[in-house]
Amino acid sequence: MSHFATSTRQVVITGIGVVCPLGSSATDLWDALTAGKSGVSICDTLPVNSARLPLRYAGECRQFSGDIEDFGDLEKGKKKAIRKAQKVMCRETQMAVAAAELAIADASFGDGLLDPERAGVVLGSDYMLTMPEDYVDGIRQCTAEGGAFDFEEWGSDGLGQMTPLWMLKYLPNMPASHIAILNDLRGPNNSLTLREASSNMAVGEAFTTVARGHADVMLAGATGTRILPMQAIHAMQTEQLANDDCDPATASRPFDKNRLGMVAGEGAGVVVLEERGRAEARGAAIYGQVVGIGSSLVADKKLQGNTEKALANAIAACLTNAEMSPGDIGHVNAHGLSTEDCDTQEAAAIRAALGGETPVTALKSFFGNLGAGGGVVELAGSLLALKHGTLPEVLNYTTADPQCDIQIATGDQSPGASFLKLNVTPQGQAAVVAVAAV
């Protein structure tokens, strides 16, 4: 368990950028959340009828093709630089760069308002895995006429058929690197690979970096996917997936008694964190103030996580760091994975740490598990809830589960003046961020 002391410098959020199954703008995200519109559909990325790849439903970013127009309204030089850099960008990196550009635009930085030496990036990701097609030429080179693959020939004959810069596409530090280079951000720069906890941990590191005076502006977020081939195979080996016959829009059902399992997805989110005095001086619109963070890792010797204990620890640490009590929290934005075990343990942690009166929303009900990228997209949902004064419902919640005895958001509650954002990994790494209205 940990909590982090900070200086008196206050840190606010002044920009939001998202690429998610509900769209690629804060407006798209909010409109879908308030309309109860799901971003889950029959999976197009993988063959759903294959017995070996039964990933039936997915939250796909169908609007994001990687075309330069997907990166926002950019000046000509920036467009040229992004097009050139895309040669060594995988899809996750492209989504992260787009989310960062959208966040910077939303923060309305004019010429000269970003000091390169005082601005940096913290970006999280999942494991970024090579696409199967990258290996095709090399595999052919090592395959005999009868179809047998000769492993001994791979090093001498196969590897040389790989594109020389292929590895640069999949290094997990590349999203932060591209964002920093494209925007001349010369301050602190870090990359985190903590699965679903990456988003909150990135926001937490950026928060403390600004709070202690090591930067004035930080971009923080994460990018992820659970639906590209290698990641999807891993999910199918380790997760309870929603593969039952149903309307795809109803497949993700966090905390519902009849939940079916996790829906896989993809997406990225980035927020701009800024020292409050600086933001106010330039007249920036402020979404909220980050007031605390907490994290905890609880796992056994086989790396099986204890979700309940890890989240309870992280919530307690976050409240201590924020100098808040349970009654101060307006709402909880839950991890809400929609699996039997994770939801039960998360609900128990929320009830133990906060009691049973705090409204709880779970935005994976709208788009599934976006991997590392989900946390910031979900955080953006709560920031918009503070702005508009309405707490999004938990979509598809129809039957209460006695094992999840918490107050589920129904769409008619107030978000309050603060919230906790929770995320946790199957390995028991939990991370929590506290945000308050300004």
pLDDT in the model for residue 333: 98
DSSP element (H, E) containing 274: strand 264-275
pLDDT in the model for residue 230: 85
User: Using an 8 Å Cβ cutoff, are 263 and 58 in contact?
Assistant: yes
pLDDT in the model for residue 321: 97
pLDDT in the model for residue 113: 75
Residue 163, SS3 per DSSP: coil
pLDDT in the model for residue 53: 64
pTM tops 0.85, yes or no? yes
> pLDDT tens across 397-419, in order?
999 999 999 999 999 999 999 99
Stretches where the chain sits below pLDDT 50 are: 1-6
Count the neighbouring beta carbons within 10 Å of the beta carbon of residue 237.
7
Residues 6+ positions from 103 with CB-CB distance below 8 Å: 15, 16, 17, 219, 221, 270, 271, 272
pLDDT in the model for residue 49: 60
pLDDT in the model for residue 4: 42
Fold annotation for 2-129+170-436: Peroxisomal Thiolase; Chain A, domain 1 (3.40.47)
Domain ranges of the chain: 2-129+170-436, 136-161
Residues 6+ positions from 46 with CB-CB distance below 8 Å: 53, 55, 58, 227, 229, 232
> pLDDT tens across 121-141, in order?
999 999 888 888 888 999 999
